[in-house]
Structure 1
Amino acid sequence: MKNFLWWLCLFVAPAVLIAVELFHPAGFTASPGMYQFLSHAEPHAEHSALAYFGPHWWFVLHMIQTPMVGLVAVGLWLMVDGIGARDGTAARVSAWLARVAIFVFALYFTILDAIGGIGLGRTILVVQQMVAAGKLSPQQFEGVVLLLNTLWVDPVVGGVGSFVSETASWAAFAVSVLVAAALLQSGRAGWPNMIPLLGFGWELQTAHASPHGPIAFALLIVAAAWLWWARRRAVPAGPA
């Protein structure tokens, strides 16, 4: 079962995230503005994404992203699975701190996706439906757009630079550092193996949108594959 979860969480889920994050735009907050950009499709490469397919895609993207990040969190937990007293106090402490960081990472990325991804995407679609049905006057529509743009940059729950966003981002970096520390201190990995893992954390801390998100999850696949290969080599061969 653990082998299945390892491949599902550290290869399949990151691969899916690479695919969807290539179409996750970024850098649109200041210009043209969150609602102004996300409310319609941008079929050409713009704002770091290969393309953007409109608010329906923003909703679907985050519906896919949220469970995939959850699976990645399970995979990161598996990386430190089994580290205990025999591996030394330092490794054991690092492993437990890594588990705490993984919990925070999964929790706050879920909150961020729920507010700034799934919820926002559906809200934009509902607003557009209400406008099309004549249920919002131009003045009301302007008020809704102002509210959504203001919430997007809210310091607590906003999609960029908020407490929720920054907590999720730095938790991702903390996870990579602590998992690497636990594996190094327990002798289960070497520095060359852990460099891609640290790169994963740094890139994901920078942003999960394109291009940083795809780079991060590609590095995670490299780190996981390397660790898997190293563990397979370390297993003693059975008697002939």
Structure 2
Amino acid sequence: MHKAMTSILWWGGLVAAPLVLAGMELFHPAGFTNAPGMYAYLCTAQPFAPQHWALAYFGPHWWFTLHVIQLPLLGLVSVGLWLAMDGIETGAAAVFAWLSRIATFFFLIGYTALDSIGGVGLGRTMLNMEALNAAGKLDARQMEGAALLLDTNWVDPWIGGVGSVASLLGSWAVFASALCAAVALLLVRRAPWPALVLLVGFGWEIQVSHASPHGPLGFALLAVAATWIRLAGASRAPAIAPAAVAA
């Protein structure tokens, strides 16, 4: 039962969830903070524009939905990253394994905070503003004031969507998690080094941004790395088993 559950969580958290995220992040725009401004861009649907990278943006309903789906998927990724360190409990590898686990914990906290505030909360606020404006309960001047507040929150040093404590905590934590996990797996010779390079690449890309284009690339790298590591481990198992029995 434990083996089956471990396999399900591995494939679900490190392959399936990242692939879904990679596809979704193709429609997560970037580079709109300064021009035209966060609210001006996100409050309405947008066509593809090279400077914003997303294939398309479907409006505030999509911003809300994207981040609602993203939250549990990132939770699954965190479970998968933690699971990747399973059984590494001795020597220098154990130190890096625990550093990876700690970083994964902070990644989960940081991204949960970031997505809750700048994703789910922001999306619902924009939708509620639209509804109140349509009902005549917010006039144009009040809408401008509300938009100013949202734009201010977006660049807030603590909770903002870019460059804030919440944002940087999650971003650097996922890189640290991937890097330390790769070192731990290398030390115990549990994975081929090219797969570990891809794992570190995942961490770096998501550290830069989870929006397009870095998010799709990063999560795709994770899915490939995890598949490679899992299959490489399975192929080595028969060769290791006889020696273990003989011992």
Same fold (TM over 0.5): yes
TM-score range, shorter chain: over 0.9
Residues 110-149 of structure 1: pairs in structure 2 closer than 5 A: 110-149=112-151
Q: Please name the residue that 1:51 is paired with.
A: 56
Q: CA deviation at 1:43?
A: 3.2
Question: How far off is 1:188 after superposition?
Answer: 1.2
1:107-133 deviation digits (Å, cap 9, x = unpaired): 110100000000000000000111111
1:137 CA drift (Å): 2.1
Corresponding residue for residue 6 of structure 1: 10
| Deviation sequence 1:72-127 (CA, Å, 0-9, x none) | 01111111111112xxx210111111110000001110100000000000000000
Greater helix proportion: 2
C-alpha distance in 1 between matches for 2:141 and 2:226? 53
Q: CA deviation at 1:191?
A: 2.0
Identity of aligned residues (%): 58
Name which of 227, 231, 237 aligns with 1:235: 237
- Runs of 4+ displaced beyond 6 Å: none
Alignment of 1:23-172 (within 5 A): 23-46=27-50, 47-85=52-90, 89-172=91-174
Q: What is the CA deviation profile of residues 9-53 of structure 1, one whole-angstrom value per residue up to 9, with x for unaligned ones?
A: 111101110111000000000000000000000133451000000
1:218 equivalenced with 2:223 (yes/no) = no
For 2:173, what is the secondary structure of its paired residue?
A: helix
Match of 1:15 in 2: 19
Equivalent position SS for 2:170: helix
CA distance in 1, matches of 2:19, 2:189: 28
Partner of 1:52, secondary structure, is coil
Structure 2 gap ranges (5+): 243-247
* Helix, strand or coil at the partner of 1:99: helix
SS in 2 for 1:12: helix
TM, length-normalised to structure 1: 0.95
User: Partner letter of residue 56 of structure 2?
Assistant: A
Letter in 2 for 1:154: D
The code of the aligned residue for 1:199 comes to: G
Say whether the 8 Å CA contact 2:192–2:229 is kept in structure 1: no
Is 1:174 paired with 2:176? yes
| CA-to-aligned-CA distance 1:175-231 (integer Å, 9 cap, x gap) | 111100111112212322210001000000000000100000110011101101110
- Superposition deviation, residue 161 in structure 1: 0.7
Distance 1:71 1:81 in 2: 15
In 2, distance between residues paired with 1:44 and 1:170? 29
RMSD between superposed Cα atoms in Å? 1.2
Q: Residues of 2 paired with 1:20 and 1:56: CA distance?
A: 14
The more displaced of 228-237 and 30-39 is 228-237
